[in-house]
Chains A and B, each alone.
Chain A
Amino acid sequence: MTDNQHNYISKASLASPYFPTWCPGCGNFGVWTAFKNALSELQIPEEQVVIVYGVGCSGNMADFNRVYGFHALHGRAIPNAVAIKLANHRLKVVVVAGDGDTYGEGLNHFISAMRGNHDITLLVHDNQVYGLTTGQTAPTTEKGTKTKSTPFGAPEIQINPIGLALTCDATYIARGFAGDIRHLTSLIKQAILHEGFSLVDMFQPCFTFNKHNTYHYFKERVYNLQEQGFTADNKVAAWEKTYEHDKLPIGLFYQDPHSVAFHKTLSQLDEKMLIEHSIETIAMEKAVSAFR
């Protein structure tokens, strides 16, 4: 029996035959739940979403979601996602990656995707440690933290993802916490609906390899920006918020209401998606006339 009926994403449709291999209590579970909630609530046909995964504990989610999934190389999910969107801009394209993936190995891609305002959503599992390789320093590890690869303390100042995104003119910049699933769900939904590049950096405790940035640590520190009346329309105000360390703001830092996504700037994509154009007959005159 065949048909072309759309099945809309639901929690049931998302279920793959595999159950997560994450450690019990891993922050990935909270992120995963919020992400599935967001996709289900958005009522998207299941074939219209592509999730591109990086490599790490977070990327292992590839086997746990029944979607069009693309499990990329470590650090390289963003360029794959950017081109998937340009090839078929009707798709919702979401990148699920880690802090090592995004702020370490693939930093150049992260910056370029923001500068181009490519319409993809980037969900960064920010656990401030390398989990899948069993506990080395990450770009987000606090300076001085002892890890397997930095037994005398991490020598670099940790990266400021939100500040970096502001500098690169990202058009949707938010931070969530795996321990606040309802809030994170809402941030992810808004991010997916945003037309242009969206970043959701997510505090995600790693039970096994990060004994410092625990649930307890975050629960004591995080506060909701919007509950404090913060309006996300001012980059300078947002910038100041990225330097709060005693208390950790979560929520929407900045959104550009005038965002124009990269694919909207390409006239060859005005009428149709790139892959909808037939290549059956190609007329050569325009390409070869200059060579005569």
Chain B
Amino acid sequence: MQMINSNPQSINWKVAGRAGEGIDVTGIMFGKLCMRHGMNVFAYREYPSLIRGGHNTHQVHASFDPKTSQQKHIDLLIALNEEGISLHKNELNEHSVVFCEAKQDGYDIAKYQDTGATFYDIPMTNMSREETGHFLAQNVVSLGASAWLMGLDIEILKAVIHDAFHDKGETIIEANHRAMQRGYDYAKEHCKPIKETFAKKENNQILLTGNHAVAMGAISAGVQYFSAYPMTPTSEILSSLAAQQVNYNLVVKHAEDEISAINQAIGASYAGARAMTASATGGYALMVEATSLAGVMETPLVICVGQRPGPATGLPTWTCQSDLQFIINAGHGEVPRVVLTPGSVQEHFELTRLAFYLAEKYQLVVFVLSDKYGLESYETMPRPADEYHNQRYGLIEEALPSDDSYRRFVVTEEGYSPRSIPGQAHGLSVTNSYEHDEFGYATEDAQMTKTMNEKRHRKIKGVATEVPQPILIGPAEADITLVGWGSTRLVLEEVVRQASTVGKSVNCIHIPCAWPFPVESFTKLARTAKKLIMVEGNLNGQMESVIKQETDMKFADHIRRYDGRPFYAEEILETL
């Protein structure tokens, strides 16, 4: 495979080693080091489904230009064990540098010389022991060395390390600063820098995962109740929000199972709180019945679902987009819903925020459908506003008629009805899992059944005017138009950027809302395309089927991946 050579304007850095060695912490610190220089950062993480001993990686791609996905070729690889090299041989070339501890780990670097990379056998563990009394700061040693090699400012790194160990006390911070300095000094003495000194530019970005962004989006929208059961790749939403209970008027409940999690969220929402749940698709599978409940009860509900390869337990820590059809159709009976499909971290923030608005206004279920790649990768985004303002929808401010004539499910043209909440005088009603009349009492009447089904489905007409529309990325006209949804956006943007540098004419359409499918705006963008290629992370072409069903448009070709791995821009570019 053709590799993009080391680009002086960008950084491709990877740390690889055993789980439990602080791979992620190291990666996050390096990512922040780049961000605080003013760069855009994207970081991709791989790890197996276990806690210690498995192979973990954290790969940072940073540049002053936009960067939205990982790249195969690595400038600098920190290999904390031999597997750190052997599993990543084909990501190295003559421009790559590897930091390793071959002597201490008992292997011979010579066998990896055919990669063409430059190897430095650095006693990181010993330096860590000498500076901190513990081997664990080997990663901080590697960060110091990385800063020298990559032309990054050691003072910024010092501040990043300070902030990372902030709550551990001055002694720990100082020890880590010594380890960092030792690595930096060693590299300065023994290694040749591979980048010019990077400039520093002002920026006001933050570095976070899709999960973090979903949690922040929820907070900005005033989430009050979040209940979930941990499952990769959405566990981080639960932990992020749980930690924020001290800062916000928010109750977070780790429920006994997913069924309880969604039923709690529905209960809280019924009582007037802004509520949300989240799970992987496997955990969401247990929530399907209650999705239908929220639908018939017309209770606002936001559900974040993270796809990972199935069937069943599948590949717990890897990625895919194989549950689109499942989510579009989940729930027995005909349940109106919205399915938002964010790509970038910023979109995860914005669409989660939007989800709360749509759910409350239209009194329906709104999914934020993402995947392991989108939820667990780090990306920079502009710092959100200092304050967000939220209106409430559908709640009744004025006193209700004392003759108790209020009807919770009064049939309306827009499909949703003013909602009383418990505690509100004269708002008594039954909120019913059974089909019901306007007061909420159960009914089996044929006409009422028909009327209520139609009432609920009229919401779709309104909500369709407020969902995000497909966007065209890249030149207005191109020989090839790639179409993607969800996290595939990240890679397609990179493909479009790289295409222009190799003289190929490519643009892409990103679909941020899968349901209701934006027929008109998609058709408008796609009908003039010279060659439409669908790119998605599943075997059966699930979005392609939706598009065919909804627009009758045909694709010239498709690129599909369903091996748990994300797309790589270079690989897509090669096939075009």
Instruction: Please give the residue numbers on chain A whose beta carbons come within 8 Å of chain B beta carbons, in ascending order.
Output: 1-7, 16-18, 45-48, 50, 52, 55, 60, 62-63, 66-73, 76, 78-84, 86-88, 90-91, 108-109, 111-112, 266, 268-269, 272, 274-275, 277, 279-288, 291-292
Assess the A4–B399 pair: CB atoms within 8 A: yes
Q: Which of A1, A47, A87 is B268 in contact with, Cβ under 8 Å?
A: A87
Q: How large is the interface on B (under 10, 10 to 19, 20 to 34, 35 or more residues)?
A: 35 or more
Assess the A1–B402 pair: CB atoms within 8 A: yes
Assess the B250–A69 pair: CB atoms within 8 A: no
Interface string of B423-437 (1 = CB under 8 A from A): 111111111111000
Assess the A62–B432 pair: CB atoms within 8 A: yes
Instruction: Please give the residue numbers on chain B whose beta carbons come within 8 Å of chain A beta carbons, in ascending order.
Output: 32, 206-208, 212, 215-216, 219-222, 224-225, 227, 244-245, 247-251, 253, 255-257, 259-261, 263-268, 270-275, 289-290, 293, 383-392, 398-403, 421-434, 440-442
Q: Which of B219, B247, B431 is A71 in contact with, Cβ under 8 Å?
A: B431
Assess the B267–A48 pair: CB atoms within 8 A: no
Q: Which of A47, A70, A274, A277 is B425 in contact with, Cβ under 8 Å?
A: A47
CB distance from B530 to the nearest CB of A (A): 41
Q: Which of B220, B257, B265, B424 is A284 in contact with, Cβ under 8 Å?
A: B220
Q: Which residue of B lies closest to A77 (CB)?
A: B263
Assess the A84–B422 pair: CB atoms within 8 A: yes
Q: Which residues of B contact A4 (CB under 8 A)?
A: 399, 425
Q: Which residue of A lies closest to B399 (CB)?
A: A2
Q: Which residue of B lies closest to A110 (CB)?
A: B256
Known contacts A62-B430, A80-B270; is A284 also within 8 Å of B399 by CB? no
Assess the A69–B440 pair: CB atoms within 8 A: yes
Q: Which of B221, B264, B386, B440 is A83 in contact with, Cβ under 8 Å?
A: B264
Assess the B398–A2 pair: CB atoms within 8 A: yes
Assess the A47–B267 pair: CB atoms within 8 A: no
Q: Which of A3, A109, A268 is B399 in contact with, Cβ under 8 Å?
A: A3
Q: Which residues of A contact B429 (CB under 8 A)?
A: 68-69
Known contacts A2-B402, A73-B293, A291-B212; is A79 also within 8 Å of B433 by CB? no
Assess the B389–A275 pair: CB atoms within 8 A: no
Q: Which of B251, B263, B421, B432 is A266 in contact with, Cβ under 8 Å?
A: B251
Assess the A286–B433 pair: CB atoms within 8 A: no
Q: Which residues of B contact A45 (CB under 8 A)?
A: 425
A69 to B432, CA, bound (A): 8
Q: Which residues of A contact B261 (CB under 8 A)?
A: 79
Q: Which residues of A contact B263 (CB under 8 A)?
A: 72-73, 76, 79-80, 83
Assess the B430–A279 pair: CB atoms within 8 A: no
CB distance from B481 to the nearest CB of A (A): 34
Assess the B433–A280 pair: CB atoms within 8 A: no
CB distance from B417 to the nearest CB of A (A): 16
Q: Which residues of B contact A285 (CB under 8 A)?
A: 386
Assess the B208–A291 pair: CB atoms within 8 A: yes
Assess the B219–A87 pair: CB atoms within 8 A: no
A290 to B155, CA, bound (A): 19
Known contacts A2-B402, A67-B428, A275-B271; is A292 also within 8 Å of B249 by CB? no
Assess the B206–A291 pair: CB atoms within 8 A: yes
Q: Which residues of A contact B293 (CB under 8 A)?
A: 72-73, 76
Q: Which residues of B contact A287 (CB under 8 A)?
A: 215-216, 219, 244, 247-248
Q: Which of A66, A79, A282, A288 is B255 in contact with, Cβ under 8 Å?
A: A79
- Interchain residue pairs A-B with the least CB separation, the first 4: A279-B222, A83-B267, A80-B267, A87-B271
Q: Which residues of A contact B227 (CB under 8 A)?
A: 79, 83
Q: Which residues of A contact B442 (CB under 8 A)?
A: 60, 62-63, 71
Q: Which of B383, B391, B425 is A292 in contact with, Cβ under 8 Å?
A: B383
Q: Which residues of A contact B255 (CB under 8 A)?
A: 79, 112
Q: With A80-B270, A109-B256 given, can you name 6 additional A-B contacts, CB distance below 8 Å?
A: A4-B399, A80-B264, A83-B275, A88-B423, A286-B244, A292-B207
Known contacts A82-B267, A274-B225, A281-B387; is A47 also within 8 Å of B422 by CB? yes
Task: List 27 interface pairs A-B (beta carbons < 8 Å), by A numbering.
Answer: A5-B425, A16-B441, A47-B422, A47-B423, A70-B267, A70-B430, A83-B263, A83-B275, A84-B271, A87-B224, A87-B267, A91-B271, A268-B249, A268-B251, A272-B249, A277-B224, A281-B387, A281-B390, A282-B387, A283-B386, A284-B387, A286-B244, A286-B248, A287-B216, A287-B244, A291-B212, A292-B207
A1 to B247, CA, bound (A): 42
